Amino acid sequence: MATPPTGTVTFLFTDVEDSTGLVRELGDAYIGVIAVHRQLVRRAAEKRSGYEIDCRGDEFFLAFARADDAVESAIAIQREHETHQWPGRHVRVRMGIHTGEPAVEEDDYVGIDVHHVARLCSVGHGGQVLLSQATLDALESVDVRDLGEFELRGMPKTERIFQLVRAGVDNDFPPLRLSSEPGAGLQGEPVGGTLRKGEGKLRVALADDAVLLREGIARLLSEAGFEVVGQSGTAEDLLLKVRSYAPDVAVVDIRMPPSQTDEGLRAAQEIRSKHPGVGVLVLSQHVEPSYAMELLAESAEGVGYLLKDRVSDIDEFAAAVRRVAEGGSALDPALVTQLVGRRKRSNPVDALTPREREVLELMAEGRSNQAIGERLFITPRAVEKHITGIFAKLGLPPAPEDHRRVLAVLVFLRA
């Protein structure tokens, strides 16, 4: 299928169980194993007109125009993995299938259905295929086991989850993964078949290639009341964990393997773009204004940039993580000083007209030009005109190293 299906779409999300353990056991041989895994998944999906949305590491995100094709693909993938002769222990794949009507943007899907299927997959076990009620309703005929009603984190209502029953195999699995286990998409304790929300611990995914620092930060966050749902040594693995575990905030070092330049920054930008509900806090050894400008290009909402030295102040660091997770911002004072300290001699915001102040306030909320126009009932051209006036009155001329939109917001926040 050359183009993504539209309208009613069924998503199939797959993930290899304990892939980290496989890497440790197989070493270099894991490269061949993951290549075979991808071949088996793609072959099964292509036979049933599946559209490959993304493949990252050991994870696949597929779309089908028919729910039956998605289920048949899942069955074929499981069968192929179970009968293949692997070099070590069997590669076991967990899967989630959900049907919805997502929006399509630049050959990519956006909306709650994307998060729904990822979280459904994350609570299963290797060899298990979980279906949502919406998918079951869209199927012509299928054998399933009703696992009960649960509350998937971030979903607007409780969800009845079903397990696909396959002939000739063991269909007994442990209970769905709870929030106490890394990677779980559920929270709380099951009461009468329904999983209730817990005490509201904020979930954190953490990435730093320095093992000791990473473990230290994880321990600090755990002691401060956060739930660390995943740790990564590479930016790529962080993206996998964000997609699978849907944390409230991702904490990532800017410089990550393999080049030790800006892999962490790139990962942070991708998270902001594809997972707007996840806050991003980047850590850096030094103040790097150009990197900060890239990260803050659209808004300062749910974004943080701190020097690693700040981690030593546990209370301040925990407060910064919590603020970013809840949609606020946390910018290192040293960064703010470099960005706007030299520019402010008085309060330039007083020079703005009432309309310009309204536009700037909406910019500070992270709204795009189009959203600002819709809120104020003015045309995009009028919005651009007001923003040009704001830049001029705040003394923010064009400069290659500066992002004027962000600087304008920062000046407003400090006024």
The model's pTM is 0.49
Q: Two tokens at 325?
A: 């997770």
Helix axes 380-393, 404-414, angle to 10 degrees: 60
Ranges of each domain in the chain: 9-195, 203-340, 343-414
CA 99 to chain centre: 20
Instruction: Specify the CATH number of the domain 343-414.
Output: 1.10.10.10
Q: Regarding beta strands 203-207 and 227-232, do their DSSP bridges make them parallel or antiparallel, or are they unpaired?
A: parallel
Q: Two tokens at 131?
A: 């279906």
Q: Is the dihedral of CA 399, 402, 404, 410 positive or negative?
A: negative
CB 160 within 8 A of CB 137: no
Instruction: Specify the CATH number of the domain 203-340.
Output: 3.40.50.2300
- Asked if the bond preceding 87 is cis, omega within 30° of 0, the reply is no
Q: Two tokens at 85?
A: 């002769």
The mean pLDDT values, 10 residues at a time, for the chain of 415 residues are 82 88 80 91 94 84 94 96 90 95 76 84 92 93 90 76 92 74 33 32 90 88 89 89 87 89 88 87 81 68 84 84 82 65 59 86 72 80 86 78 67 62
| pLDDT at res. 165 | 94
**DSSP label at 349?**
G
| pLDDT at res. 382 | 81
Q: Two tokens at 115?
A: 């998060």
* Contact partners, residue 105, CB within 8 Å, separation at least 6: none
Residue matched to tokens 């704001």:
390
| pLDDT at res. 200 | 58
The CATH topology of domain 9-195 is Alpha-Beta Plaits (3.30.70)
Produce one character per residue of 310-344: b if its CB has 16 or more CB atoms within 10 Å, e if not.
bbeeeeebbebbbbbbeebbbbbebbbeebbeeee
| pLDDT at res. 127 | 94
